[in-house]
Amino acid sequence: MRLSAVARASYGFTEEGADDLGPLADEISSDAATAVLRARKFGRELHVTRAARRAAAKLRSRAPELAEGGHLGLILATERGDQHMVARRTADIAHRMSLGERAPTDLFRAIAYFPVGRVAKSIAEKLQAWGPVVSVPADLERARTLAEVWLTAGRAEQVVLLAADATADGATAHAAAELWLGGRRADTAPALTMTAYVQRTHQSEGVSCAELASQVIETLAPVGGRRTALIVGSMLADAGESLLAEASPRDPGPPLEGAIRSLAGRLGFSELFVLIGSSGASMTALGLAQDLIALDRVDSVVVCGVDLVHGVLAQALGLLRCDDLPHMRGGASALMLQPGTPDDGHPILQACSLVSPAVPSQPTVAMDLAGVPTGLPNGRKPSHVVLSGLSSLDLQCAEQLAGHVWPGAPISSRGDVRGVGDDVLRLAGTASGLDLPMGIVGVHYLGGTGCCLLTSEI
- pLDDT (tens digit per residue) in 81-120: 999 888 888 888 777 877 777 877 777 888 888 899 999 9
Task: Assign 369 a pLDDT band (cuts: 50, 70, 90).
Answer: very high
pLDDT of residue 22: 53
Task: Assign 204 a pLDDT band (cuts: 50, 70, 90).
Answer: low
* Average pLDDT score, the chain: 88
Q: What is the arithmetic mean of pLDDT over 6-33?
A: 63
Strands 331-339, 192-201: parallel, antiparallel or unpaired by DSSP?
Answer: antiparallel
pLDDT of residue 19: 44
pLDDT of residue 21: 45
Give percent of the chain with pLDDT exceeding 70. Answer: 88
pLDDT of residue 44: 73
pLDDT of residue 120: 96
The phi and psi torsions of 306 (rounded to 5 degrees) equal -150, 140
pLDDT of residue 165: 95
Asked if pLDDT for residue 18 goes beyond 50, the answer is no
Predicted confidence (pLDDT) per residue in 326-342, tens digit: 889 999 999 999 997 66
The mean-pLDDT minimum among 66-70, 265-269, 419-423 falls in 66-70
pLDDT of residue 247: 62
pLDDT of residue 16: 42
What predicted TM-score, i.e. pTM, was given to this entire model? 0.92
Asked if pLDDT for residue 138 goes beyond 90, the answer is yes
Q: What is the arithmetic mean of pLDDT over 347-372?
A: 91
